[in-house]
Chains A and B, each alone.
Chain A
């Protein structure tokens, strides 16, 4: 989308006056000398690099580890805005968990005809192996990162639900630590809700879903694919801040239906696995036989109720892009309430009518792969060239059922430090939600920012950066 279109500026109103939550920050920004933020940005980069807060970009040769650009201007959300958001998120994650329990048991929602049965049962993300199994507390998706965008004062849309293995929470934590080092004075003049309790909350959540919650101490582990994974830093960070072991598949084995880790002494039984590897790689005996990352026999131990896997296998069906369009129905079906947060209207290209509309309006809309992620394989009509659109049209016509389309949303923009000074750049927001004995939503989240002028792509793999996100307290 070009900048001539109207978008919601989170800091300044139509008269270029700061909105209330940004009042102090706007004044502070005005008072600072021109090169102040440049210097602070450099300080931040040094901190990140030394701490090794990096991510890997697949397919780039020259370096396997990169920094995500960090923007030193915080994004601010008022207390009342946050109450609205968190109520909506709470409602949504409860409904999605109820949906998962239902489709792996009685499938009431399919019988009621609210979702086409094929869309669920023929979906790659639906795991028949999970049918009839009930995880502890009936929770399937314990860790969710809800992607939101804002288009006006009170209008937020959910873009994606991320119910598999959402990442980025370590950036939420480290961005805050860095901001506190860089601008202590700003924290004195604002009442910013803390995010530092996240690891503690994560640990409580994981403990609450252990197979035998009455045990006096639970052995929790974080399962990582290893140091070459793009999110390895985060895996280590989470294990470290919870004080639990960071394991790879080869550190675990299954014996007599229980999962153990190989220690320097006797094997130690594991109760809960926070896995950061995909379903397909969990257990070579049940899923992908070529997986070197998983643990043979893990799934059987899980179904026997001897270990909890978080998130549960098969949660991907709840954030499938084809299912997404039905989430408002899912919410109504299981909660009996109207959705608090909006869903983006979605055209399903497998439907001929929808496809025809999408092909007629490629210049105006966003087209995404059903199973894609990370901003790859998508078309943003308003910013694409004629050639890109023509090429995408061919791909879409060949395999329409692989795509969905949505109107281009006018993403809100936040003040961002750029070469020319401070300018609005488009942002999204991913708050982190934990579901166990209760639903815990950390006030804040990860704000991703499209650093290029006019760009709507916030993915770090596509040149996006991050910001610290401040939820103000009343």
Chain B
């Protein structure tokens, strides 16, 4: 396989994951904007989405008012914002186009149809009322992409590189969301009212990571609690967006790559080490180290892993 092909498959998956993550953040913000909370400034919900996706500065340079229209324009349709859904979908599709020969017809049709239908939508038509439906459509299209990938692609190196792209992005996204609001997840912020800002933020974090419902199953009879939420999103492997789950996959995929190529590159050991660390770690150790330190450290290591992978396999 060409190094460039490996790179395109990695980024195709990575950008799709990113598009979905941004649209989920916006879904949470939309919901927040509809349900009013006492004692909150206007726009808190939107700020949450901007901060978690690192889009705050870019937004403020272009817009004054935080509202649904401006948010949709910047986070969904903008051609200038490299993190917008549009930018991610376009880059995902360009990468897929570059490896048309390396992906299945089903996968290409899923990607291409998303792009065609997305570009057919006029940004003016997406009013605040229509925004939730549109976001859920983006989400469903991303699920279709994952489904087409998992159901049709050969289990060879191409599959392994797409999986790596997906989980590098996913774990980065989870770690960034947690880090943006890490102080609300410290154990001493446990005793709070149901209607408080922290409670809203906890719930937003869980929703942004599709974990609001599954939290109930992982912690039966437990109310929302900082310790549990942090543990759920960092260490519980059954949570598909937790850091531990992502690195479980990546370590398995690293093992597959080693077997496929008959040699073990440094990046594969890095993935295995990260997975082992997360499996052995306890939540109280993370609190001891400092949640923010732990998360920044994770984001760094995750980046280093991605760099090493590019280097080991001649990504162009």
Residues of A within 8 A of B (CB): 49-52, 226-227, 232-233, 236-237, 239-240, 245-248, 250-251, 261-265
| Residues of B90-111 contacting chain A, CB below 8 A | 94, 97-98, 100-101, 105, 108-109
**A51: which B residues are within 8 A, CB to CB?**
105, 108-109, 112
Q: How far is the CA of A246 from the CA of B97 in the complex (A)?
A: 11
In the complex, A189 Cα to B199 Cα: how many Å? 71
Enumerate chain B residues within 8 angstroms of A264, measured Cβ to Cβ. 1-3, 6, 157, 261, 313-314
6 CB < 8 A contacts A-B = A51-B105, A227-B97, A236-B101, A251-B3, A261-B2, A264-B6
Q: Give the docked Cα–Cα distance between A237 and B100 (Å).
A: 8
Whether A52 contacts B101 by the Cβ 8 Å rule is no
Chain A residues closer than 8 Å to B5, beta-carbon distance: 245
- Residue from the list B3, B97, B101 in contact with A262, Cβ < 8 A: B3
- Docked CA distance A263–B100 (Å): 17
Q: Check B218 for interface membership: any CB of A closer than 8 A.
A: no
Q: Are A49 and B100 in contact (CB under 8 A)?
A: no
Q: Separation in Å of the A240 CB from the closest CB of chain B?
A: 4
In the complex, A29→B5 CA distance in Å?
46
B212 contacts A by Cβ under 8 Å: no
Q: Which residues of A contact B157 (CB under 8 A)?
A: 264
**B116 sits at the interface (CB 8 A):** yes
Of all chain A residues, the one with the shortest Cβ separation from B98 is: A227
The answer for the CA separation of A226 and B105 in the assembled complex, in Å, is 20
**Whole-angstrom CA separation of A247 from B316 in the bound complex:** 12
Which residues of A have CB within 8 Å of B2?
245, 247, 251, 261-264
The 7 A-B pairs with the shortest beta carbon distances in the complex, nearest first, are: A236-B100, A264-B313, A240-B101, A262-B3, A239-B101, A227-B97, A264-B6
What is the bound-complex CA distance between A166 and B203, given in angstroms?
59
Contact of B4 among A52, A237, A239, A262 (CB under 8 A): A262
**B113 at interface, CB cutoff 8 A:** yes
Looking across the interface, which residue of chain A has its beta carbon closest to that of B4? A251
Whether B4 and A250, one on each chain, are in contact in the complex, defined by CB atoms closer than 8 angstroms, is yes
In the bound complex, how far is the Cα of B113 from the Cα of A49, in angstroms? 8
Q: Which residue of A lies closest to B3 (CB)?
A: A262
- A227 and B5 CA atoms in complex are apart in Å by 13
Shortest C-beta distance, A389 to chain B (Å), equals: 41
The closest CB in chain B to the CB of A236 belongs to: B100
Distance of A199 from chain B, by nearest CB (Å): 12
Q: In the complex, which residues of chain A have a beta carbon less than 8 angstroms from the beta carbon of B4?
A: 247-248, 250-251, 262
Closest A-chain residue to B103, C-beta based? Answer: A240
A245–B101 CB distance below 8 A:
yes
Q: Flag if B97 contacts A232 (CB, 8 Å).
A: yes
Known: A52-B108, A250-B4. A227 touches B94 (CB 8 A): yes
Please, how many angstroms separate the alpha-carbon atoms of A261 and B2 in the complex?
7
Residues of A within 8 A of B109 (CB): 50-51
With an 8 Å Cβ cutoff, the count of chain B residues facing the other chain is 22
Which of A239, A246, A261 is most buried by chain B, counting CB atoms within 10 A of its CB?
A246
Distance to closest chain A CB from B258 (angstroms):
12
Q: Kindly supply a per-residue 1/0 record for chain B positions 1-35, scoring 1 wherever the CB is within 8 Å of any chain A CB and 0 otherwise.
A: 11111100000000000000000000000000000
Docked-complex contact B316 and A262, CB < 8 angstroms: yes
Bound Cα distance A251, B99 (Å)? 13
The answer to whether A263 and B314 touch across the interface, beta carbons within 8 angstroms, is yes
Q: B316 to chain A: which residues have CB within 8 Å?
A: 250-251, 262
- Tell me the minimal C-beta distance from A167 to chain B in angstroms: 16
* Known contacts A236-B100, A250-B316, A264-B261; is-contact A49 B116 (Cβ 8 Å): yes
B100 touching A265 by the CB < 8 A rule? Answer: no
For the complex formed, measure the closest distance between the CB of B111 and the CB atoms of chain A, giving whole angstroms. 9
B261 touches A52 (CB 8 A): no
> Pick the contact of B261 from A247, A261, A262, A265 — CB < 8 Å?
A265
- Across the two chains, which residue of chain B brings its CB closest to A248? B4
What is the distance, in angstroms, from A62's C-beta to the closest C-beta of chain B?
11
Taking CB as reference atom, which chain A residue is nearest B7? A264
Question: Which interface residue of A227, A263, A264 has the most chain B CB atoms within 10 A?
Answer: A264
Q: Which chain B residues border A248 with CB–CB below 8 Å?
A: 4
Give Cα A248–Cα B157 distance, bound, in whole angstroms: 20
Expressed in whole angstroms, the Cα–Cα distance for A246 and B314 within the complex equals 17
Scoring B1, B94, B109 by chain A CB atoms within 10 A of each residue's CB, the highest score goes to B1
* Residue among B105, B113, B314, B316 having the largest count of chain A Cβ atoms under 10 Å: B314
Assembly CA distance A52 to B101 (angstroms)? 13
Q: B2 — nearest CB in chain A belongs to which residue?
A: A251
State the Cβ distance, B269 to closest chain A Cβ, in Å.
Answer: 17
Contacts of A251 in B (CB 8 A): 2-4, 316
B116 to chain A, nearest CB (A): 6
Q: Are A246 and B112 in contact (CB under 8 A)?
A: no
User: Can you name 8 extra interface pairs (CB under 8 A) apart from A232-B97, A264-B261?
Assistant: A50-B109, A226-B98, A227-B98, A237-B100, A251-B3, A261-B2, A263-B1, A264-B6
A42 to chain B, nearest CB (A): 15
